[in-house]
Amino acid sequence: MSTVTEQPTPESGGLAPDPAVTPTRATGTRKLPIVLGAITVLLALRVLLTSRSGDTTFRLATDSDFVELPNIVVPAVVTAWVMIVACLALTAEAVRRMLAHARQPLWLPISFAIAWMVGFLAYEAAGSRILVVSLLGGAISLAIPLVFGALGGVLGERAGVVNIAIDGQLLFGAFAAAVTASLTGSLWAGLVAAMVAGALIALVLGLFAITYFVDQVIVGVVLNVLVVGITNFLFRQVLTPNADSLNSPERFRAVPLPVLGDIPLIGPILFRQTALVYVLYVVVALVAFALYRTRWGLRVRAVGEHPKAADTVGIKVNRTRYRTILLAGAIAGLGGAYFSLVSVAGFNREMTGGAGYIALAAVIFGKWDPIRATLAALLFGFASNLQGVLSAIGSDIPSQFMLMLPYLVTIFAVAGLVGRSRPPAADGVPYKSQ
């Protein structure tokens, strides 16, 4: 038995209720036990086929903490097997719900993920230690461009424009931020330039997709390739010969927030970050509030669901789409500044590494919701940071696999857990005024 929400056509009347995406019960019920079981088997095979000994230390504090939490020391192999048993129990619960045709609750995959990761890290770090603050804090830092890109994607698609050009907006934002910050000596001027650069790419996307009705996916892909070509040319011909004056910005440094930064465990992870992370917190809250709690947000969702109905009540559909896609591009461009003002000091060729496509996957995984997309981006950021942690503790997992890890997690999350989902009804559909 499955519950399927029919997708209304863009010409139909009335607005579909939020959330805009409704996974079918049957799809989600069947997929989850299979995915959980397969991952549990992989961990069990890892423990059975390799040899480890000793204890693993989970360090919860940093040397500068006002109040230091005690370390957690666990036997590596025993902990791994305990967590495998816990994962098996959770998988059995998922199977039971599948057979009963019951809904799979959100706590089940979350609990499984925590248990699996604790078992995996405990086993891989046998005889070593895991710095929990570095693991989670680094994940937030690496997720900065993904979250900004995902928010840009959510806004664009909520308004009915498929924003495939997120990677181009990130890359051009990184370029503009490096050059502007180098010329002005101001990191904040670099952030503004990154937003303008992202909005410029969005403007070109809107021109072709909204005004001239060109296929939005094709336009987005072409823009990504175009930005790669332009930035590569400018890097080679302009930035490289003039690196001291055009490609030598300062970097954002971590700025601990008073009081909040002293909270044990949470403080070092959330409130000892760079200024760009604090900007991220504000932007996520504003986008989530504006999209669901303001008249502007209602209009954006209206033109993305049923533009003809929106036009009937006096909403300028294409004007709303233009304004929204420009805002989305500016937000994505802001994420691009991470690469040249936070990660490293300066611009390099193709330095986004396809982050825009991972951000697009976060949009789908997050079901076109800003908060869910943010959480999905944080998951991918955690996967990116995990490869560095595994290298630091001397894991014998091949380095090639660890480089693949963020992309494998992306594929697994979107293909294995999302199930069937419905984007905004008029997503990717151009609107011609009558």
Amino acid present at 230: I
Percent of the chain at pLDDT > 70 equals 91
Burial of 129 (0-12, 13-18, 19+ CB in 10 A): middle
Local confidence band at 182 (pLDDT 50, 70, 90 cut-offs): very high
DSSP category for residue 15: P
Give me the pLDDT at residue 434, please.
66
Say if strands 72-75 and 129-131 run parallel, antiparallel, or are unpaired: unpaired
Rounded mean pLDDT, 371-395:
87
- The Cα 11–Cα 308 span in angstroms is 6
Q: How confident is the model at residue 330 (pLDDT cuts 50, 70, 90)?
A: very high
Alpha carbon distance, N-terminus to C-terminus of the chain: 42
* Distance from the Cα of residue 275 to its chain's centroid: 19
pLDDT in tens, 58-71: 998 887 777 778 88
C-alpha 18/C-alpha 1 separation (Å) is 23
Q: List pLDDT tens digits, range 23-78.
A: 444 445 677 888 889 889 999 999 999 888 889 999 988 877 777 788 899 999 99
Mean of pLDDT values over 279-299: 95
- Cα–Cα distances (Å) from 355 to 8, 21, 145, 372, 413, in that order, read 32, 24, 7, 18, 16
Q: If you average pLDDT over every residue of the chain, what do you get? A: 87
Q: Average the pLDDT over each of 165-179, 223-237, 375-389 and give the range with the smallest value.
A: 375-389
- Mean pLDDT confidence for 227-235: 95
Residue 276 CB burial class (10 angstroms; 0-12, 13-18, ≥19) = buried
Given this model, what pLDDT does residue 427 score? 83
DSSP 68-133: PPPPEEEEHHHHHHHHHHHHHHHHHHHHHHHHTTPPPPTHHHHHHHHHHHHHHHHHHTTTSEEEHH
- Say if residues 101 and 115 touch (Cβ distance below 8 Å): no
Cα separation, 43 vs 52, in Å, equals: 14
Predicted pLDDT of residue 110: 87
| Omega before residue 19 within 30° of 0, cis | yes
**pLDDT at residue 164 is higher than 50:** yes
Residue 186 CA, chain-centre distance (Å), reads 27
Q: Identify the pLDDT of residue 222.
A: 95
- CA separation (Å) from 85 to 5, 79, 89? 36, 10, 6
- Give the Cα separation of 258 and 134 in Å (integer): 20
- 366-398 in b/e form (b: 16+ CB < 10 A) is bbbbbebbbbbbbbbbbbbbbbebbeebebeee
Give the model's pLDDT for residue 84: 96
Q: What is the pLDDT of residue 16?
A: 44
Pairing of strands 129-131, 55-59: parallel
Which strands sit side by side in the sheet containing 129-131, from one edge to the other? 72-75, 55-59, 129-131
CA distances for 305 relative to 15, 17, 271, angstroms: 6, 10, 38
Q: What gap in Å lies between CA 238 and CA 219, rounded to an integer?
A: 27
d(CA 409, CA 376): 11
pLDDT at 421: 67
Model pTM?
0.87
**Residue 56: in which H helix or E strand, if any?**
strand 55-59
User: Which residue matches tokens 């055009």?
Assistant: 246
Higher local confidence (pLDDT), 61 or 6: 61
Checking phi first, is residue 213 left (phi over 0); if not, alpha (psi -120 to 50) or beta? Answer: left
Would the pLDDT of 17 be above 70? no
Q: 284 with 371: CB under 8 angstroms?
A: yes
Which pLDDT tens digit goes with each residue over 86-145? 999 999 999 999 898 888 887 888 899 899 999 999 999 998 889 999 899 999 999 999
Mean pLDDT of 255-263: 88
Do 123 and 253 touch, CB atoms closer than 8 A?
A: no
Residue with the larger pLDDT of the pair 103 and 409: 103
Beta bridge partners of 130: 58
